[in-house]
Amino acid sequence: MKRELLRAQEEVKRIKSVPTIIGQFLEMVDQNNGIVGSTTGSNYYVRILSTINRELLKPSASVALHRHSHALVEVLPPEANSSISLLTQSEKPDVTYSDIGGCDIQKQEIREAVELPLTHHELYKQIGIDPPRGVLLDGPPGTGKTMLAKAVANHTTAAFIRVSGSEFVQKYLGEVRIIRYSLSILHYDIDAIATARFDAQTGGDREVQRILMELLNQMDGFDQTVNVKVIMATNRADTLDPALIRPCRLDRKIKFPLPDRRQKRLVFQVCTAKMNLSDEVDLEDYVSRPDKISSAEISAICQEAGMHAVRKNRYVILPKDFEKGYRTNVKKPDTDFDFYK
């Protein structure tokens, strides 16, 4: 009997050592068989190893399938195939509001819409209004949308979950995973999945629209909770589906324009606060230039200036370093290629 047990254990170990396929458990048929879905989009009726704890086989559980027989050989932990990356409280962003130059109006609006409902929910109860359910951050790239979302997460005890819309759209059809936490801020880069709906012609388009419908349903309040706040960021609000950006789904729309002269000055001050600048450096010269630049470009200018000083073996950043950084990130070479003449 012991010999047979050892032989069976060796066989199970050998099966698990073979590279396996990640799948999703769908339904238990009987004690020895079940239905699973694979990453190819197909469902399989498979055998379940006798060593598997049946109590772990719940719908949507991540499982490992044998690459040849598709037998279910192991139940994976919930985070093994998560479609989002969770930053737990110990790994939360360390960005603060003071790290963001300018954006005073945007800071105030996002605090009212996201931070205060999580930290002082009783204020909204006393006034008799419901806090905003979601916020849309709209503006060109590099204007501080993601930085501000991180700053909000840093000033609350909520888990900060950042999701790129494209992470929901896999090569093959799959189930949408909705992961909930008791207190959380969901930050979506939404452009990939929230464009206006149309008559889908391909399976990929239909999958994107199905994910959008699920997102709309979740925001509509089938499982409403005041402890989950949604922040969506986009570069083109005019291309989003109207059903997503209507009131009661995204109650607050916050615009992030390119910085004006005052905002540029504040961003330069924040970016150069820890830099060893020469007394000859005049930041006002770069602030007053008419070029339309984003906050990210200002940060890149300062970074490039510092790198140029390092390249020259200097510990002090000179005006020519800033000029080099400015030309690298803003001024393009005046080259006109006459391709069609």
Whether 339 has a pLDDT exceeding 70, the answer reads no
* 80, 114, 143 - which closes a domain: 80
Q: Which helix (H) or strand (E) is 21 found in, with range?
A: strand 20-28
Task: Report pLDDT for 133.
Answer: 79
pLDDT exceeds 60 at position 315: yes
Same domain for 97 and 50: no
Q: Domain range holding 39?
A: 2-80
**What does the pLDDT average to over 47-72?**
83
| Torsion 146-148-149-154 (CA) sign | positive
**Is the model's pLDDT at 250 over the cut of 60?**
yes
What is the distance between the alpha carbons of residues 296 and 93, in angstroms, rounded to a whole number? 18
Q: Is there a domain that residue 338 lies in? A: no
| Range 326-340 average pLDDT | 65
Q: Which residues pair with 20 in a beta bridge?
A: 66
**In this structure, are 238 and 216 located in the same domain?**
yes
User: Which is nearest to 62 in space by CA: 80, 87, 39?
Assistant: 80
Give the chain's domain count: 3
Other CB atoms closer than 10 Å to residue 28's CB: what's the count?
15
Contact 20, 74 (CB under 8 A): yes
User: Looking at the domain assignment, is residue 340 inside a domain?
Assistant: no
> pLDDT at residue 108 above 60?
yes
The sign of the dihedral angle between the CA atoms of 296, 302, 303, 305 is positive
Res 176: pLDDT: 42
For 75, the 3-state DSSP assignment is: strand
Confidence of residue 332 (pLDDT cuts 50, 70, 90): low
Based on the fold, state whether residues 24 and 106 are members of the same structural domain.
no
Which CATH number does the domain housing residue 20 bear?
Answer: 2.40.50.140
pLDDT band at 89 (very low <50, low <70, confident <90, very high): very low
pTM of the model: 0.66
Give 247's contacts (C-beta < 8 A, 6+ positions apart): none
Where is average pLDDT lowest: 77-86, 155-164, 236-245? Answer: 77-86
Q: What is the mean pLDDT of residues 243-256?
A: 82
Q: What number is the average pLDDT over the span 335-339? A: 49
Q: Which pLDDT does position 199 carry in this prediction?
A: 57
Query: Hey, which residues does 167 pair with through a beta bridge?
Result: none
The answer to the question of residue 70 being in a domain is: yes
Q: What CA–CA distance (Å, rounded) separates 282 from 267?
A: 14
Residue 70: what pLDDT? 79
Listed range (6-20, 88-102, 268-282, 302-316) with the worst mean pLDDT: 6-20
Residue 81 has pLDDT above 70, yes or no: no
Structure-token pair, residue 52: 């598997």
Look at phi and psi of residue 180 and say left if phi exceeds 0, alpha if psi is from -120 to 50, else beta: beta
Tokens of 127: 């006034």
DSSP state of 48: B
Same domain, yes or no: 129 and 201: yes
Task: Kindly give, in sequence order, each residue whose CB lies less than 8 Å from that of residue 106, ignoring residues fewer than 6 positions away.
Answer: 137, 144, 148, 254, 255, 256
Per DSSP (E only), the strands in 82-140 are: 85-87, 134-138
Mean pLDDT (whole number) for 64-79: 79
